[in-house]
Amino acid sequence: MKFFRDFYQSLLFIGLTSFLHAHEFEASKAFAKLHLHNKLEVHTHFGWESKYVLEGRDSLDGNSLWSSSVETRYEHLFGGMWYGRSTRNDFRELKLNAGVGQEKESYTYHFAFTHIRFPVDDESDDEWEAGFTHTDLPFVSESGLNLVYSEDADGFFIEWGNAIVHTVTEEFELEYTGVLGWNEGFVSDGHDGLNHFSLGVSTGREITSFAALNLHAVQTWPINRDLNKADDLFLRETFHFGISLEANF
């Protein structure tokens, strides 16, 4: 019966997400999805997050995060390095990423591997990711599905989202975004099934021909939170925002 209850709730939330035209935007996510070109492309990022929210959870229990990254892409191959740290505690995280992708007229898909290290705790994890995005859709700018497998947790996390871009003026755009998350053993001491729903808005301003300042804000709501599970204590209604300086070469 639990499967049918979760499946019915999934249909309700998928319908809601489609109506709101959303896809989650989180600057704390380690790697941007660069466009596939037949030339070398480099992307750099330096940013600050008011909270470090992953899998719908306030991972640092209210503390902020500074992060920086550099990514490269050539034809179908991409890779990068991301580093994040909290200024209020000794949290440190390093991510090394490599993968392959394909871009067509109306859709893209990618497969990636990420090695994660936590230097302070001397711990690590390896994650495998597959994603698909469709861009030629009515009403929405894009819709995508992303699946990540953690070797350490031996579980999956799935996110499905949409995005819509609203042009205010020729120089000013707003992107409205949102996501529906599903945990299946990825957050090991959290409940399985529907996990969270998020809505966000983001905008950017070009500083030079290759650099931009980006701002975003996200509101997250938990789904089926189980207070008997330790990791669900951080799965709560959360508002966070961030700012980042990004450049492409």
Write down the domain spans for the chain. Answer: 2-248
Give the pLDDT confidence of 70-86 residue by residue, as tens digits. Answer: 999 998 999 999 999 99
Distance CA 227, CA 234 (A): 9
Q: Between vectors from CA 159 to CA 154 and to CA 163, what angle results, nearest 5°?
A: 160
DSSP string, 121-187: TTEEEEEEEEEEEE---SS-SEEEEEEEEETTTTEEEEEEEEEEEEEEETTEEEEEEEEEEEEEBSS
Asked whether 5 and 194 are in contact (CB, 8 A), the reply is no
Which pTM does this prediction carry? 0.85
CATH fold for domain 2-248: Porin (2.40.160)
pLDDT at 33: 53
pLDDT, mean of each 10-residue run, the chain (249 residues): 41 36 43 62 96 96 96 94 93 97 90 96 96 86 94 97 89 92 97 97 94 96 97 97 95
